[in-house]
Each structure stands twice: as C-alpha cells, then as structure tokens.
C-alpha cells in the first residue's frame, strides 16, 4: 500500500473517531500547524501510532477468529523528522540533561568530498544531482546545538510514545492467546544522526550510527529469553528466516542467509560479512559497503575515493584509512572480499539438470 492510500485510511479513521478538523493539525502554514513546534497539538488518541496499533489488533483478532496463519507487518512512521509529538511526550525528556554528539575536529580531513561539503554553510551538490529529485542528506548539516538537544529530547519522546502502542500490540497477542506461537521481530530501516560526525537525520553515509539498526526477536520456548548476540545480521535475512521458522523452504531466487540457528542459540554466527547498499541516484549516489567482524570498506561507483575503517581500533570511525599507504594491502583484500560477496549474492537462475 502506497503512502497516499495509507494517508487516506488514516484520515478516514480520524473522522470516524470524531476529529472532523484533522487537516488543521497537518496543514502548513495555516491553522494549528503554524503554532506547532516540537509539541503537536493533535490529541494523542488521534495520533497515527494509536491508529496503527488499533488496526494491527483488529487484524490479530480476525486471525484468531478464523484460525488463519499470518504474517503481519506493523509499520510505525516514527521516530522521524519533523520532531513533533503530542503532550506529555514532548516534555518527557530534559534536553539539558542529554548528551549531544558533535563532529571531532579534523575527522573529515580524509573523508570523501560529499561528507566534507556537509560541514559547510552553502554546499554545492549539483554534481551529484541526476534525477532532479531530493537528495537525502546532501545539504549543509551545520546546526545549532541547543535546538538539536531539543530535537533529540522530542525524538526520544516519539520513541516512548511508539513503545506504548507497540506494548498494546504485544498485550493483544497475550490476551488473544497467540504469543506462545508467534515470532515477533522488532527492527527498523536505518539509523539516525544527531550530531555524530557533524551529521543530522539521514543520508547516504554508511557510518555505524546509520547502518547498525536495533533488532529484537522473541518466540517463547524457542528463542532464549534475555540473550544478546553480536553476530552479523542483515535485514535481507529476515524473509528467509521467517520462512524457516514457518517450515517453508525458501525460493531459489532468495539467496540471503537463514538466521534461525543463530536466533535459537544453536550456533554463534552464520555470516562473516554484510553488504550495505545505497543507490539514491543512478550513478552519482551509488554506494556499496562491505562490513566484517573488524573492518568496513565503502566504495563509490566510478570514484577513486572511498572509506576504510578499522572498527576494532577506531570504533568511532574517525580515521579513514582508504588512502593510507600502510593500509593498501588491506584495502585490496577487502575489495576482493566485496567482489566475491557480490558474486555470492547472484542466484543460479538455470540450475544444471543434465551433463550437457
């Protein structure tokens, strides 16, 4: 379902709940919107988190009634800019007590040019623009620290509000007697910058702050409770892993890794690398990153620059070793591993069935 259809269903829901003037809370720059900054005047009961939880629970009740096996994806929009949340969640966290990350002086001296430009007041990213569409993150990331602290506090409030409604879904699983036989996974699509490396929000920047996403899995009696694991995981592993838990063989075209043995504790890890990809523009923002237990290599299509970090010795990713003469052999080795990993992703579309 696309965003337009989602918005239509949400709007109808608000009207059915009695909020006939819902447009006033979303419209810019008229109505309530011109008075809203950080505190959303929209009452919490009409927030889309409440709508998502309510519709999810309705689906679960339907599955319980029909006895149908199910896959259900509850996609929460938050936390996301604009940083806006109903009271009391907007004041739940004190910005004065929060740590606000910041760029380390000199850390971008050896960074690719687009990263250096983010730290300037009026950067020119025209050479990266191909489609004419918005370039996420390709703008100035200079920011006011106090305003960023308030953004962080509200961002945390948005997370807490979301947690409340995720809790309602989990409570519904319990109430319906479904939790013992339902695999629950919590994760997200990407991370978020709040001053780390001088960056804000998101973009084609493959620092750990962006690509190390939360992942929690639960299946009572199968996945050990309270266990943490540092094994490499990838979002592309979710589909074949879900199929494995359901006892369904994955299609040949699905070449990703089944993580079930790791999740249930049979083995410590199954991956020796992950690949992170971003193709925001056809060629100019075409990025691939190879990550293993220690190193991270980022390659930019048709560019001589890149990034190489030793995550063991430099977990903050402050020292780009790409052009370091002492890291030349390491870079070559990781480039070969990236090539082999890319080849390993390709399914054998026409498997051999005869000697010919």
* Chain CA centroid to CA 318, Å: 22
Please check whether residue 328 lies inside any domain of the structure: yes
pLDDT(55) > 70: yes
- Banded pLDDT at 354 (limits 50, 70, 90): confident
| pLDDT per residue as tens digits for the range 126-156 | 999 999 898 999 999 999 999 999 999 999 9
Q: According to the model, what pLDDT value does residue 35 have?
A: 61
Question: What whole-number distance in Å separates Cα of residue 278 and Cα of residue 289?
Answer: 9
Exposure string for 278-306, b = 16+ CB within 10 A, e = fewer = bebbeebbbbbbbbbeebbbbbbeeeebb
Q: Is residue 56 part of a domain?
A: no
pLDDT at 34 over 70: no
Q: Is the confidence at residue 308, as pLDDT, over 90?
A: yes
Classify 337 as helix, strand or coil. helix
Burial of 76 (0-12, 13-18, 19+ CB in 10 A): buried
Residue 50 inside a domain? The answer is no
Domain limits for position 336: 274-346
101-117, pLDDT tens digit by residue? 999 999 999 999 999 99
Domain assignment present for 232: no
- Amino acid 1: pLDDT: 46
Give residue 5's pLDDT band: very low, low, confident or very high (50, 70, 90).
low
Is residue 295 situated within a structural domain? yes
User: Number of helices and strands (H, E) in the chain?
Assistant: 8, 10
Decide: residue 341, CB within 10 A, 0-12 exposed, 13-18 middle, 19+ buried: middle
Q: Any idea which of 35-39, 72-76, 302-306, 325-329 has the lowest mean pLDDT?
A: 35-39
With tokens 């923002």, the residue in question is 285
pLDDT band for 346, please (50, 70, 90 cuts): confident
* Tokens (6 digits) for 330: 């390491």
d(CA 121, CA 335): 34
Stated as kind and residue range, the H or E segment containing 241 is helix 238-245
* Separation CA 213–CA 126 (nearest Å): 30
pLDDT in tens, 203-240: 999 999 999 999 999 999 999 999 999 999 999 999 99
Give percent above pLDDT 90 in the chain.
87
Q: Using pLDDT thresholds of 50, 70 and 90, give the confidence band for residue 352.
A: confident
Does any domain span residue 23? no
Out of 25-39, 124-138, 171-185, 335-349, which region has the weakest mean confidence (pLDDT)? 25-39
**CATH number for the domain that contains residue 323:** 3.30.1120.10
Residue 273 has pLDDT above 50, yes or no: yes
In this structure, the number of other CB atoms found within 10 A of the CB of residue 336 comes to 11
Decide if 141 is inside a domain: no
pLDDT tens-digit profile of 189-201?
Answer: 999 999 999 999 9
Residues 241-258: tens digit of each pLDDT: 999 999 999 888 888 899
Say how many domains are in the chain. Answer: 1
Q: What is the mean pLDDT of the chain?
A: 93
> Encoding tokens for residue 237?
């592993």
For residue 313, the model assigns a pLDDT of 98
Stretch 281-297: mean pLDDT, rounded?
97
pLDDT digits (tens, 9 = 90+) for 171-181: 999 999 999 99
- Name the one residue in this structure whose structure tokens are 């379902």: 1
What distance, in Å, lies between the first and last C-alpha atoms of the chain?
45
Q: Is residue 318 part of a domain?
A: yes
């Amino acid at each position: 379902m696309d965003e337009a259809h989602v918005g239509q269903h949400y709007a109808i829901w608000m009207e059915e709940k009695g909020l006939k003037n819902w447009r006033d809370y979303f419209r810019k720059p008229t109505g309530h919107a011109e008075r809203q900054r950080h505190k959303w005047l929209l009452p919490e009961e009409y927030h889309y988190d409440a709508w998502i939880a309510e519709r999810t629970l309705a689906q679960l009740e339907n599955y319980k009634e029909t006895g149908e096996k199910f896959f259900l994806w509850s996609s929460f929009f938050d936390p996301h800019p604009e940083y806006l949340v109903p009271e009391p969640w907007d004041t739940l966290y004190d910005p004065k007590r929060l740590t606000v990350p910041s760029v380390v002086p000199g850390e971008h001296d050896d960074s690719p040019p687009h990263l250096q430009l983010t730290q300037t007041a009026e950067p020119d990213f025209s050479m990266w623009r191909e489609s004419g569409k918005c370039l996420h993150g390709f703008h100035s990331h200079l920011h006011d620290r106090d305003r960023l602290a308030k953004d962080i506090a509200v961002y945390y409030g948005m997370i807490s509000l979301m947690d409340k409604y995720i809790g309602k879904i989990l409570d519904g699983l319990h109430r319906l007697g479904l939790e013992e036989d339902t695999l629950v996974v919590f994760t997200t699509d990407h991370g978020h910058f709040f001053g780390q490396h001088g960056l804000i929000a998101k973009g084609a920047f493959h620092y750990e702050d962006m690509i190390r996403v939360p992942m929690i899995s639960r299946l009572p009696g199968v996945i050990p409770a309270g266990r943490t694991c540092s094994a490499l995981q990838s979002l592309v592993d979710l589909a074949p892993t879900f199929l494995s838990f359901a006892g369904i063989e994955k299609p040949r075209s699905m070449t990703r890794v089944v993580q079930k043995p790791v999740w249930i504790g049979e083995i410590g890890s199954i991956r020796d690398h992950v690949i992170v990809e971003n193709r925001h523009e056809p060629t100019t923002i075409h990025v691939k990153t190879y990550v293993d237990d220690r190193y991270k290599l980022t390659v930019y299509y048709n560019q001589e620059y890149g990034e190489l970090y030793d995550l063991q010795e430099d977990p903050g990713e402050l020292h780009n070793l790409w052009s370091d003469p002492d890291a030349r052999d390491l870079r070559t080795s990781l480039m070969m591993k990236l090539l082999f990993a890319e080849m390993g992703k390709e399914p054998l579309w026409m498997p051999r069935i005869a000697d010919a």
